[in-house]
Amino acid sequence: MSQLAKPLAPAPTNLVGPTELPKGDSLFEQFDWLYILCREKLFRNDTRRMVKVFWPNTRPPSNSRLVELGCGPGFYSRTLARSFPELEVLGVDKSCRQVEYAEQKAIALGVNNCRFERGDVLDVTRPAQSFDYLIASRLFTVLPGPERALAEMFRVLKSGGRCFIAEPRYKFWASIPLFMLWLVASVSGQANGCREPSKATVFSRERFERLFHTQPWKSVRVWREGRYHYALCEKR
C-alpha cells in the first residue's frame, strides 16, 4: 500500500451530527459549509501558477509525491491530482469536516491518486524527506507560529523538493472569510469560545521574505501578484 493511501484518522466520538459539536471548537468545523463555499467559489485559484512554477514545460515525474498543508476542502489537492494522475497527493487539515468533504468530493470525481487526513501542520505525521512538492495557500492567515510551520515544510520535503506558498497581502480582503464565519456564528448564538481570530494575519513583503530565510533553502523566490504574496523555495 502506498504510504499516502492511509485511512482517515478516526473522528472524535462526539462528532456524530451537525448539532453535536461543542461550543469553543473551530469555526471551520461548526460552519464548514461556509468556508467550503468561500474556497470553492470565491478565493483566487492559483492552480495555473502552481503548475507553471513546478512543471513549466513538462509533467511531474511518475510517482512523485505532493502534500498540501491546510488543504481545507481539498480544492488544490484534488485539482492537481486530477490533472496529473502520475502524482500521489496528500491533503492535510485539522478540521474533521473539511477533510471529510475533501475525501467525498475526490471519490465523487473519481480521483484515485489523492488522499486526505486530519493533521496538525505544525507537527506533520510523516517522516523527514517524504515529499517532492508542497503547497500551502492562505495557511498563515489563522496560524500561530508560521516559523514552526515552515520548519515542518522544510523537514518533510526531499532534497531538491520545492514548495509553493500563497498568502493574501491585505488584512481587509484576507479577513472576509473570518468575518463571514464570525457573523454566522454570532447570529446563530454559537460564537462563544471559538478559537479563531476575528481578523486575519497578513505579512508585509519584508516579513514575508524574512520568514523563508529561517530555513536553509537552496533558493528562495518571492514575488507579488495582485492581492497575494507568493514564494517558491527549493530544498538543498
CA angle 81, 138, 229 (to 5 degrees): 105
Q: Taking 80 as the threshold, does the pLDDT of residue 229 lie above it?
A: yes
Handedness of CA 26, 31, 34, 37 (dihedral sign): positive
Domain presence at residue 19: no
133 burial class (0-12, 13-18, 19+ CB within 10 angstroms)? Answer: buried
Is residue 121's pLDDT more than 90?
yes
Domain hosting 38: range is: 29-234
Q: Which pLDDT band holds residue 25 (cuts at 50, 70, 90)?
A: confident
- What integer pLDDT is reported at residue 177 of this predicted model? 93
Sequence-distant (6+) residues with CB within 8 A of 158 are 129, 130, 131, 132, 235
Task: Count CB-CB contacts under 10 A for residue 194.
Answer: 21
Q: Considering the domain boundaries, does residue 16 fall inside one?
A: no
Number of structural domains, the chain? 1
Q: Encode pLDDT of 148-157 as tens digits.
A: 999 999 999 9
What's the CATH code of the domain at 170? Answer: 3.40.50.150
User: What pLDDT digit, counting tens, does each position of 181-213 carry?
Assistant: 999 999 999 888 788 899 999 999 999 999 999
State pLDDT tens for residues 28-86.
Answer: 999 999 999 999 999 999 999 999 999 999 999 999 999 999 999 999 999 999 999 99
How much is the average pLDDT of 115-130? 96
Establish if 33 belongs to a structural domain.
yes
Grid coordinates representing 148 are 514552526
- pLDDT of res. 52: 97
